[in-house]
Chains A and B, each alone.
Chain A
Amino acid sequence: MPLAHRLTRPIFLPAAGRKWRIVFTHRALLAIEELTGLDAMRVNLTHLSARLLRAVLFAALREAGSEASVADAGAMLRPGAVERIRHALIAGWIASFPDPEPHASSDDDDSPPPPLSTIDAWAKARYDFRLSDEEWLSMTPRMLHAIALRDLERMRQSEMMLAVLCAHTVNSSFRAPRTPTQAAAYMLHPYPVKDAGPVFGETIMSVFADAPKRRTVNRI
């Protein structure tokens, strides 16, 4: 079984008397692009057209090992089966793509970046991660995203070491800032700030629990 199938949540589509495992690798996405002319990494499956649905089904079946043609895929889309197949394909699509990024905080005006185009994903895989074409083709976008996250963590660790040194140098120098600078200020890819969350009574008590207790002295 290909690694992409092992690392992707299993979604099965019963069709033509068999159960096909739905996984969208970059190879399948390129097949969709070839048939539709659309950038498969950016298509919106919630607004599928008939032409796109047929192409997505064909690519999914081909990826699962079927030798069905585009016309065969279209013939499978009978009136009673269209919705069922569409739902299975969407589930497989979601399983193959990375989870959506959480939205930027309200004070941060940056909107989330658009998803990578196919050519950008290929360039990233080749240049940043030194993957071969075949390795990239057999991976899902979710797998590539996992590598990207790991690479980001490696960059952050490297940046953090230099940033700590930088912050220490600034804070201990002549005319050091009154408020000490933080290491994160010197990082190109700072760690995301965790949401403080709501403050409850237990939160306050846990903070003061570590404070040294003061003895009451009777002054008589």
Chain B
Amino acid sequence: MTSPIEEKIDDWQKIVNKPVFTRDGKDVGVVESVQAERIIVTFGPITPDKYAIPKSSIVDFDEVGVVRLKEDGDFIEHHYKFA
């Protein structure tokens, strides 16, 4: 069974290099790669912060090319930041 966002994003490669924002407007970074279950988002140029965010956290990929998450910044920081 596919989630609504999986129906909306038919080609996941479209979101690579696109900015990611949390529900409360925090800039998480840009999508570096798309894995089977997660998107990998990085923030910062030299030693970037890295986040492995489940695809199910995405609520929208809007017409201006922004990926929006359903959780807020603190949640993302605590649960999905891995490096």
The answer to whether A and B belong to the same complex is no
